[in-house]
Amino acid sequence: MTVSDSPYGAMELAVAKDTGPYICGLDAAMDVVGGKWKALILWALDDGGTLRFGRLRRQVPGVSEKMLIQQLRELEADGIVHREVYREVPPRVEYSLTEMGQGLNAALAPLGAWANEHMEQILSAKQRDVA
């Protein structure tokens, strides 16, 4: 079923997306990695392995503490990131990719390669839009 075929219209499908249904697999994937920071968080965890919050924040330049917490919670809820809390004083929290998160990162690698290959054209097009 497409959005235009839905008897409820686009708004109802978008609202129902939190619990399903998705139009296709790409729709579900974009729901998981959508936004500016999630793919960068995935890359940082893939590159750095298990990271504490402060180190992860340094690995994702420009992200605010509030946004990083929000994005990590969403990724954890989607089963992409594992959060391990150690009952110590002071408390220690570490983040790592789940098996599903590692698979998602592998799926995103060709997209990153494509962007690296076309970076100049992408930047040029963005500069034309600004001018």
Read off the pLDDT of residues 16-60 as tens digits, 9 standing for 90 and up: 456 668 889 888 899 999 989 999 999 999 998 999 999 999 999
Q: Are 43 and 63 in contact (CB under 8 A)?
A: no
Read off the pLDDT of residues 59-96 as tens digits, 9 standing for 90 and up: 999 999 999 999 999 999 999 999 999 999 988 999 99
| Paired residues of 20 in beta bridges | none
Whole-prediction pTM:
0.77
- What's the count of helices (H) and strands (E) in the chain, helices before strands? 7, 3
**Residue corresponding to tokens 């995935």:** 42
Angle between helix axes 99-117 and 25-33 (nearest 10 degrees) is 90
Predicted local confidence at residue 48, as pLDDT: 87
